[in-house]
Every structure is written in C-alpha cells, then in structure tokens.
Structure 1
Amino acid sequence: MPRGRYALHDPYDHTPLGEEHFQCAPGPTGWRYVSRTTDPAGRHTGSVDLTLDALGRPLRLELRTADWQVRGGVLDGVTWVRTDPSGEHAREGNAPARAFTGASPAFLVAVARLLRPAPGEPAARVRLVAFTPPVLAPRTLDQTWALRGSEAHPTDSGPLVVDHYRVGDPETGEEHSVHIAGDVVLAAPGVELEDLDSPPSALT
C-alpha cells in the first residue's frame, strides 16, 4: 500500500498550491485512493476518496473542500451530488461521461486504468466530468490519451515500469506528458512526486 506526498503547483507559472498526502492500494473491487490536501502554509484544504472497479470505472467518489463536497459514481453515465456542508444547496447532476477528473493525481491513474491504451494505438478519446477546487463546480470535457511507450528502471525491489502517456485537449489542441508507474504518478503538469514510502502497486 503505497503512501506518499505530491507537491502541487500551477502548471503555467509554477506557483505552489500545496501538497496532497495520499495512500492507495488494489482491493477486492479494484483500486482505492484516499488523500488529504494542504495549502502552502500546511493548512488542511480538502480530501479525496476514490474507488474504482476492476474495469477502472469510478464506483465511488467523494471530494471535499472547505465549503463544498461532491459524491458520485457510475450510473447512466456518471451521476453526482454537489452540496455545501449544511446540505441546503444540494444539487444532483448527471452526464453521459465515462469517469471523473480533477486536480488530484488520482484521476490521472484512474483514466489511464479505464482506457488502458496500447503502444502504437491511435489516441483514445474520453468524455469526463471535472471537479476543480475550491468550489467543485462540474464541467464536462473531452481528453485524448495515447501511450507513447514504457520503460523499465532498475530499483532495489526490482524493475519499475514507467508508462509515458500523451494527454490532449481536443478543444484547444494542447498536449502534455504524464508519467505513471503502477498506481503512482511520477510526473505531470502541476504535479511532482515528493515522497513515497514503498513501491507502486501494479494494476492488472
């Protein structure tokens, strides 16, 4: 069960946004990721709890910030409830999308797990619903994912296979690289792995 810490920053000007302290592991249903986020001063800002099934679909998602929370899962596409802590402003939503995305590196692992592109295949296009802190307002968007290659790196506990994905925005034409080893993001725009206490788990 890897435990670690991601440093988060603005992908354009590199302004520090805080840290995400996480743990994740394969389980009976598929994979689970839990984390808490802090701002640059170390103050708690939110949490992520994501469970995938064996096919990479989001069985359960719970996101929290100081003023909002979202709970969602796969149902007629994806369905969610967004509310304030009191429940007074609860709103249910649904979209013909395949999964969720957002600021957490967990979503990069989740989408890669869902699509499982093979090297040399054309980029796969996927529709997602994004929830971005601090207000977690839903936004439907498309991404393209292509696996550019995999490279094995020797470590004390055996070879570490790193997959290099190219992720694109069909609306703007922008593309960026994402490097994932097992269930841990090694590098992505706005994300740097700062600490990891055990090797990533392999997701079969």
Structure 2
Amino acid sequence: MPRGRYSLHDPHDHTPLADEHFQCAPGPSGWRYVAQRTTPAGDHSGSVDLALDDLGRPIRLELHAAGWQVRAAALDGVTWVRTDPAGEHATEGNVPAHAFTGTSPAFLVATARLLRLTPTTSATRVRLVSFTDPVLAPRTTDQSWALVNSEAHATDNGPLTVDEYQVTALDTGERHTVHIAGDVVLAAPGIELEDLASPPSTFH
C-alpha cells in the first residue's frame, strides 16, 4: 500500500499551493486513493477520497476544500452533488463524460487506468469533469492522452515500469508530460513526489 506525500505548486510560477498526504491500494473491486491536504503553512485545507472499479471508472468520489464538498460517481455519464460551506444550497450536475479530474495526482492515475493505453495505441480523446480549486467548481474539459514510452527501471524491489504519457488540452492545445509508475505519479506539471514509504502497486 503506497503512502507518501506530494507537493502541489502552480505549474506556471511554481508558487507552493499545498501538500497532499496520501495512501492508495488496489483491492478486489478496483483501486482506492485517500488523501489529506495541508497548506504550505501546515494547516488542514481539504481531502480527497476516490474509488475506481476494475475498469477504472469512478464509482465514488468525495472532495472537500474551503468548506465546499463534492460527492460524485460515474452514473449516466458522470453525476455530482456540490454543497456550499453553509450547507444550505446543494447543486446537482450531470454530463456525458468519462470520469473526473482536478489538481490531485489521483486523477492522473485514474485517467491512465481508465484508458489503458499501450505504446502502439493512437492518442485517445477523453472528456472529463474538472473540479477547480479552491471552491470545487465543475468544468467540462476534453483531453487527448497518448502513451509515448514505457520503460522498466531496476530497483531494490525488482523492476519498476515507468509510463510516460503526453496529455494535450484540446481547448488550448497546451501539451504536457506525465510520468506514472503503477499507482503513483512520479512527475507532472504542478506535482512533485516528495516522499514515498513503499513501492507503487502494480495493476494487473
């Protein structure tokens, strides 16, 4: 069960945004990721709880940030309920999308798991609902994912396969690279893996 810490920063000016203290593990029904977020000053600032089924679909997502809360799942596309800090107004949403995304590294692992690309697969388009920080506002976004390289690296615990993805935002054409090993993001824009207590899990 990998556990560790990601540091999150603005990918453009590298301003520190948060630390995400996580643990994740595959299970009999899929994969689960739970994390607590702290500010650069060390104050609690939110949480992430994501569960995927065997096919990589989000069967449960719960996000907390700045008093806002989102509960969501893949249902008739994707469906969510967003609640304001006072708890007085809950808004529902549903769009014909494949899954969710946001600033948590969990969403990169989840999208890679959903698409299951190979180096011979052509770039694949995916529609996602992004929950933007800090108020978890939903926004539909289209991306293109391609697995451009998959390389095994020798470690003390045996070979570790690192997948290199090229991700393109189809609305802006902005392109970036994501490196994932098993269920851990090694590097991505705005994300640094600072600490890892055990090796990444392998998906079969």
Q: Same fold (TM over 0.5)?
A: yes
Task: Tell me which residue corresponds to 1:54.
Answer: 54
Q: CA deviation at 1:89?
A: 1.2
Unaligned runs of 5+ in 1: none
Task: Tell me which residue corresponds to 2:26.
Answer: 26
Task: Tell me which residue corresponds to 1:107.
Answer: 107
CA distance in 1 between counterparts of 2:25 and 2:56 reads: 13
Q: Deviations over 1:132-169 (max 9, x none)?
A: 22100100010000000111111111011100000001
Task: Tell me which residue corresponds to 1:41.
Answer: 41
Structure 2 SS opposite 1:13: coil
CA distance in 2 between counterparts of 1:105 and 1:185 reads: 6
Structure 2 SS opposite 1:134: coil
Identity %: 74
CA distance in 2 between counterparts of 1:43 and 1:87 reads: 22
Q: CA deviation at 1:122?
A: 1.4
CA distance in 2 between counterparts of 1:85 and 1:135 reads: 9
Unaligned runs of 5+ in 2: none
1:63-142 aligned within 5 A? 63-142=63-142
CA distance in 2 between counterparts of 1:33 and 1:156 reads: 25
Q: Deviations over 1:79-131 (max 9, x none)?
A: 00000244211011100001000010000000000001110321100000000
CA distance in 2 between counterparts of 1:125 and 1:61 reads: 22
CA distance in 1 between counterparts of 2:159 and 2:28 reads: 25
Q: TM-score, normalised by structure 2?
A: 0.98
Count of residue pairs the alignment pairs up:
204
CA distance in 1 between counterparts of 2:203 and 2:170 reads: 28
Task: Tell me which residue corresponds to 2:151.
Answer: 151
CA distance in 2 between counterparts of 1:35 and 1:129 reads: 20
Q: Deviations over 1:35-85 (max 9, x none)?
A: 011111011100000000000000000000122000000110000000024
